[in-house]
Every structure is written in C-alpha cells, then in structure tokens.
Amino acid sequence: MNKVVMFSIASLTLASCAAQDPNGPNFAQGVWSGQSIFPSTSLLTSRQGPLIGRTIYTTSGYGPLVVHYELIDPATAAPQYVAASVQGRNEYAIIPVSALQVSATDISVHANDTAMANLPHMSTEDLEQRYPRTVVTTPTEPNLAQVPRFGLQPLPGALGTAGAGPLQLSQQANVVGMRVVDSFGQEVGTINAVATEPSTGEVRYAIVSGPSFGLGNYIAVPASSAHVNGSQVVLNGSLAAWMQSPRYQTSQLPTMFGPVRGNLN
C-alpha cells in the first residue's frame, strides 16, 4: 500500500477522538486555521524557498521538526504547505502554512503529539511522486486585474520600473487603519499609510505594520497583491510568504516611497 496512509479514514477516526486544541488541526472538519489539512494534487514540490531549513516547534514539545520541502501554488509559487520531519527520519508531516506562527527566529504550531502524528505523512518518494518537483523558487504576483484594488482602477508598474513616477506617502485614504489578513484569514497587521501617485491619487503600495514584522517595522504591499473585502484588506498568499518581504523603518519610508503628506504615525 502506498505510504500516504495518513489520508485514510482510520487515521481521521483516531484523530477525531483525541482532545482538540482550539488552535490545532480540526480533523472532524479536515481543516487547520481555515485551510484544508489535505493538500490539493495540483501543487508542486520545491526544495528551495523562504521556509526551507527552518525549525518548527510544537506547543507539546513534539519534535522539533525541520522544513525540507514546500508545496507551492504553481501559478504564484507561494508556499501552501510545508513538509517537515524530525531529524533523522525520512517521513514528513504535511502542515498548512496558515497554521505556522512565523517569527524572525523560529516557527511554532499549536498541536499536541496525537494531532501531529495524525497529520498526513509522506516519504520523500511519495511526496515527489504525488507533487512533481519544480525549480520555481520566487513568488510572483498573480494577475488580479479584475479584483478591485482599494476601489481604484488597475495600477501601473511597480516602483522603480520604467515610466513609474514619483510617489507620495499619505494617511488620507479610506483603507488606512484597516485590518490586514492573508489569503487564509491569518492576521497580518494594519495599514498605516499608502504610497500614491501625486498626479492621479492612484495607490501603488499599502504600508503595513504588524507584530510578525517587528516593532517599528513596515512592509510595502503592492496594490496589485491586495483587495478590500468588507472591512478588511486581504493579501494574496500567506503570512509566511509576506514575512520574507523587505522591512522598512519610519525614517526610511519617505526615501523609498516619497515625501509624507501630513504626519506619518
């Protein structure tokens, strides 16, 4: 029998009997932090990426595990799952990236030993057979031309490209102060300002702060990678992927994204 036995009904039955951590995997519903526990077969395996080689610690002390593979979206190259193993074992637990709590120094997950043991597990052979290997390593922005971007029309090229004009930082925008989440609903932070084209008012970047980026640090999110959904802004991809973005301090923002109109808090 193929070693992808952790997808079996028997393992799900065992897991559903275990005490559930409210932040851990919910085997009864087959989800963890809003993401399916079981990866789509459309994903690809990558041995290079921002999470490869990182150590994962569990709340129960299981492991620690080391990330050996990412399962990535073939359209965006953004990691959707990680395959991590305890040192010396050729068997990988498959963990949704939405369940990862990523900091500058380590990664943690809320799961007890029983839950970790009942996640999908695969050998190297099974993993690469089910999810073909790819050499794609850098996430790219998808084409979101049909998605409203802060209520504006599709925006021109990124900062620094040919034809891009000077920008201006402003906190006079309806999205400033909005909560920001990733594609899986995981908290990212808050929009503190936007970088706009002075002549048109079109938003090129949202300046976002959050605890995952460190106190006093910001990331710049291209408007083409975000959209407003009700009272919050949703970023394309996972928090884990956005954690790899360049970080800026308050004093650096005017240099990178133009003079400030008003005070930048």
pLDDT (tens digit per residue) in 123-134: 988 988 899 887
Q: What integer is the mean pLDDT of 11-18?
A: 40
Q: What integer is the mean pLDDT of 196-205?
A: 82
Q: What integer is the mean pLDDT of 143-159?
A: 31
203-222 residues labelled b (16+ CB within 10 A) or e (exposed): bbbbbbbbebbeeebbbbbb
Nearest to 35 by CA among 77, 97, 93, 78: 97
pLDDT band at 54 (very low <50, low <70, confident <90, very high): confident
Helices vs. strands in the chain: H and E counts, helices first: 5, 19
Across the chain, mean pLDDT equals 75
- pLDDT, residue 104, reads 61
CATH number of 5-130: 2.30.30.240
Q: What integer is the mean pLDDT of 188-208?
A: 87
Q: Do domains 5-130 and 168-261 have the same CATH topology?
A: yes
SS3 54: coil
- pLDDT, residue 72, reads 87
Burial of 195 (0-12, 13-18, 19+ CB in 10 A): buried
pLDDT band at 200 (very low <50, low <70, confident <90, very high): confident
In tens, the pLDDT along 234-250 reads: 888 888 888 888 888 88
Residue 163 main-chain phi, psi, to 5 deg:
90, -10
pLDDT band at 23 (very low <50, low <70, confident <90, very high): low
What gap in Å lies between CA 134 and CA 131, rounded to an integer? 9
What contacts 236, CB < 8 A, 6 or more positions away? 76, 78, 141, 142, 144, 183, 225, 226
How is domain 168-261 classified at the CATH fold level?
SH3 type barrels. (2.30.30)
Each domain of the chain, given as residue ranges in start order, spans: 5-130, 168-261
